[in-house]
């Protein structure tokens, strides 16, 4: 579904991670892990086409991000940003309606029905007419997930879904991801460093290290925790203890 081959990640004139290679399979929840500032969000920005890769090859659903493929690829992915990134001048319902209005080709009534069913999926139908400023951070993220799913994307990217949330809300969000994966057979790529979340939702994960400027581990969370010989990986999974 998403494939990176020998990718150098970063910004023009600044390589953050070198030679990153992994593949995200269809229907799996794949986590990008690492300490703060290690470059996991940078890798995600390449995956969602915000920044071009510095070197190597990156494909999403078999396509590279180019000016030609961009419009079609954007409709095949959904993104939830760390803050939710809901549009403050629109109600929650209008936020979910926006991609449907622009791209779905559905009639007005059908669009609204679909948007309401998406809000029901994330259990926030009651918040449909509220403005993003009137709801909590966790609710904003769930609305953002509903918006990300509006065009039935093949892969959904979640940037730090647990950041800034209490453990109960964070766990509820994880449950939501698992339910959506189960019901809609979607692929999820999740940027996170929350251990409970990683063990709960991730099938596999890739780990990055700032000091070594690269990917240092790839595998299931349990395999990395129990079997890795890398000091940094062990410490990460043991909350700083070797």
Residue pair 96/144 in contact (Cβ under 8 Å)? The answer is no
Given the complex with another protein, which of 134 and 226 has the nearer CB atom? 134
Distance CA 199, CA 206 (A): 13
Distance of closest approach, residue 179 Cβ to another protein, in angstroms: 23
Q: How far apart, in whole angstroms, are the C-alpha atoms of residue 21 and residue 139? A: 34
Among 99, 138, 161, 214, binds another protein (CB under 8 A): 99
Helices 167-184 and 137-148, axial angle in degrees (round to 10): 10
Residue 133 found at the interface with another protein (CB under 8 A):
no
Q: With binding defined as CB under 8 A, does residue 85 bind another protein?
A: yes
What's the rounded Cα separation, in Å, for the pair 1 and 15? 25
| CA-to-CA dists, residue 215 to 7, 10, 59, 154, 212, angstroms | 10, 13, 18, 25, 8
Query: CA-CA distance, 209 to 199, in Å (whole number)?
Result: 19
| Least distance in angstroms from the C-beta of 83 to another protein | 5
Residue 161 binds another protein, judged by CB under 8 A: no
Looking at beta carbons only, is 5 or 94 nearer to another protein? 94
Q: Which is nearer to another protein, 85 or 195 (CB)?
A: 85
Q: Which is nearer to another protein, 47 or 198 (CB)?
A: 47
Strand partners, 207: 33, 217
Please pick, from the candidates 77, 96, 165, 233, the single residue that binds another protein as defined by CB under 8 A.
77
Judged by CB under 8 A, does residue 71 bind another protein?
yes
Q: Residue 57 corresponds to which tokens in the numbers above?
A: 């090859």
Stretch that binds another protein, among 18-26, 42-50, 170-178, 179-187 (CB under 8 A): 42-50
What is the radius of gyration, based on Cα positions, of the chain?
18
Question: Which residues contribute to the site for another protein (CB under 8 A)?
Answer: 48-50, 70-71, 74-75, 77, 79, 81-83, 85-89, 98-99, 102-103
């Amino acid at each position: 579904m998403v494939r990176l081959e020998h990718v150098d990640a970063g910004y023009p004139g600044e390589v953050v991670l070198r030679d990153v290679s992994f593949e995200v399979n269809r229907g799996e929840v794949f986590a990008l892990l690492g300490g703060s500032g290690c470059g996991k969000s940078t890798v995600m920005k390449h995956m969602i086409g915000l920044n071009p890769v510095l070197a190597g090859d990156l494909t999403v659903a078999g396509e590279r991000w180019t000016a030609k493929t961009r419009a079609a690829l954007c409709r095949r992915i959904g993104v939830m940003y760390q803050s939710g990134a809901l549009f403050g001048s629109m109600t929650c319902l209008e936020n979910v309606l926006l991609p449907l209005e622009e791209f779905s080709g559905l009639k007005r009534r059908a669009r609204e029905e679909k948007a309401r069913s998406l809000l029901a999926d994330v259990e926030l139908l009651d918040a449909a007419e509220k403005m993003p400023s009137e709801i909590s951070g966790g609710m904003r993220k769930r609305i953002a997930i509903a918006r990300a799913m509006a065009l039935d994307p093949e892969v959904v990217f979640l940037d730090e879904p647990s950041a800034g949330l209490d453990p109960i809300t964070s766990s509820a969000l994880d449950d939501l991801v698992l339910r959506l994966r189960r019901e809609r057979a979607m692929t999820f790529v999740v940027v996170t460093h929350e251990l409970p979340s990683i063990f709960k939702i991730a099938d596999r994960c890739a780990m990055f290290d700032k000091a070594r400027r690269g990917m240092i581990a790839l595998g299931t969370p349990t395999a990395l925790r129990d079997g890795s010989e890398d000091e940094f990986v062990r410490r990460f999974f043991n909350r700083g203890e070797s």
